[in-house]
Each structure stands twice: as C-alpha cells, then as structure tokens.
Amino acid sequence: MSQTSPFPAIDHPAPTTQSVPAAAPPAELTLEERLTLVNAEMTARLDEAAVAYEVNTAHIPTEPVDLADVVTLPLTPTLQPPPASYPTPVAALLQRAHHRLLTGGWCSGALVDEDGARCMLGAIRAEARGDSGLEADAASVLLDAIRRKFGDNVDSVPSFNDAHGSARTPLRMVDQAAGLADARGL
C-alpha cells in the first residue's frame, strides 16, 4: 500500500550555476581623486568619532568656564613703575640702570645704538648723570657680580656685554649687582 502525502510533490529544479561577468578592473585614479576619497573617508571617521565622544561623555557634568576666572593678567602688557629704590647710592644707580635697560632696550657693540638702546655700561653712565666716581663704583660692583657667576676670566663689563646675543643675561647681572651693592652697603 502506498501512502500518499497530503502535500503535493515539489519538483526541485537542478541547481544551475550562472557565471557573473567579471567586473572591469577599476580605472586608475588620479592623485586628486584619491585624495578626495581619502578626505571624504577621514571626514566621515572624524564625524563618527565626534558623535562617539559626545555620547561617551554626555554623563559627565561640566560647568561652563568663564575666561575671567582663567585669565588673570592684563591682555595688553603695561610698563610697571620701577620698584622702590635701594637706599644706597650704588645699588640705586644699578637698579635705575636695570630699569633703563628694560624700558629703553639693550644693545651690544656700542654704548648707545641708533635706536637709543644701551649696553650695560651705557645704562650705568646715563643713570650716573655725570658722577664719574659713582659710575666707577657701580661698574666695579657689576664686574664683581659677573666674575662671581662666570669666573675671573671676564676682562671687563663691555666685553661681557658684547659676548651676549640677547639681553637676558646682561639684564639679570645688572639686577644681581644692584642686590650685591645693597648687601655691601654701597
């Protein structure tokens, strides 16, 4: 006895293989086209990263920053008045010379250059206002301060001044010499 299936018989066709025509190889892209594609891909990646960052940090509470709380200096630098003068004459002269170098400029190779900037000795001479004894004492203390820091092989204040390409070290030495003169009571 043959049993019949309640379902009709399905006739399955034999599998056929179809050959898909091979895609033509991509034409060579020019450099500009490749850069455009890479730019588009990188832009998409950066956009995705920005969204991921926003999602990942949304739970972190933040407060807006007021720039007035962060910036504590004036936006435009202003010249400050010179500090209170040292009570001793040589120290006060060196302090004034330091301030003159800060405000009027420093130079190398001349007592005063065409712009009015001065060397270390030129600033001392200008601030001594013709008092050659006070000028000599200040130059002597300055040379002593230089030799303490840089050794006894420094011949003179002008040679030390001219050996530097920027004002940083000469100005620092004039300031240190003012403190040394004050400590000595000069």
pLDDT tens-place string over residues 145-160? 999 988 889 899 999 9
pTM above 0.85? no
Alpha-carbon span 44 to 34, nearest angstrom = 15
* CB-based contact 138:90 (threshold 8 Å): yes
Alpha-carbon span 122 to 111, nearest angstrom = 5
Each residue of 72-102: pLDDT tens digit? 655 566 666 656 788 889 999 999 999 999 8
Q: Spell out a b/e string for 26-50, using b for 16 or more CB atoms within 10 Å of the CB, else e.
A: eeeeeeeeeeeeeeeeeeeeeeeee
Helix (H, G, I), strand (E, B) or coil at 26: coil
